[in-house]
Amino acid sequence: MSRPPALQAVALEFGYPSGGPVLRGADLSVAPGEIVGVIGPNGSGKTTLLNLLARSLKPDRGSVRVFGRDIAALSARERAQEIAVVQQEAKVAFPFTVLEIALMGRAPYLGRWQLEAPGDLAVAAEALELTGVGGRRDRKFHELSGGEKQRVMVAKALAQRSRILLLDEPTAFLDFQHQVEIYELIRKLARDRELAVLAVSHDINLAAMYCDRLAALFEGRIAMEGAPSEVLTPSLLRKIYGVEIEVVAHPARGRAPLVFPLRTPVGRGGESGL
């Protein structure tokens, strides 16, 4: 028997005033303990969908439900206690230390003028250790590399101890080792803490390896949703990405296919390759 969703999008529609519709009736759900990956080409509405799920944007039509409750009925504090978000690019305006950034994840549990307690410090320190930046806790955030900054922002989200985690390209600035480490950590936390995780990703192979389900967005609609092996077919990927793609079985993980773009023959449409 399937578990009720922690997060559910129902017929979401959204368009920016300066342009046409971005999302056209998107339906998607994430259960506790599950990782759902959202893939699709640039402009397909992936980040917009994530922002609607986080209530950073309000839909033109449709609704978002958090453990059965309409997200519009939740206060900002309640939303922050339920949903943590890691954006694609880490931006911090002031010279905070790494530890101070992680401690910001505890803000939803503090009163207006309340200071962090030792328990909050312990949660933040644990999150920094989990993401591999515990040794940088006293460094200024702006002194870190791009990859280190991203791991600090993941640590801040983990310190928030929310039941839902939304990730927008969480490994975009990381080398391959740290990409794998972050996804391994996210998968472990999803299982151990029953986190519901939605991750927007341009890396189809990483998404296939670590996500339980994939949702492929195309022209504002979810073109296909299901297990990675169901979604990652040459015909669908050709349709949404516009290139010839080969899909093969992973030699070690049969349920996670591997995706390779094929070179366009020289002379085809004047192109020499991908």
Whether residue 163 contacts residue 194, with contact meaning beta carbons closer than 8 Å, is answered with yes
Can you tell me the distance from the alpha carbon of 151 to that of 157, in angstroms, rounded to the nearest whole number? 10
The predicted structure's pLDDT at residue 198: 97
Can you tell me the distance from the alpha carbon of 71 to that of 74, in angstroms, rounded to the nearest whole number? 5
> Could you tell me which of 118, 114, 7 has the C-alpha nearest to residue 68?
7
Per-residue burial over 122-145, b = 16 or more CB atoms within 10 Å of its CB, e = otherwise = ebbbebbebbbbbebbeeebeebe
Mean pLDDT of residues grouped by 10 in the chain (274 residues)?
83 88 93 96 91 95 96 95 88 88 94 86 95 93 87 93 94 84 90 95 92 94 93 91 83 73 53 38
Beta bridge partners of 245: 261
What does pTM read for this prediction? 0.89
The predicted structure's pLDDT at residue 267: 41
Whether residue 221 contacts residue 24, with contact meaning beta carbons closer than 8 Å, is answered with yes
Beta bridge partners of 13: 24, 61
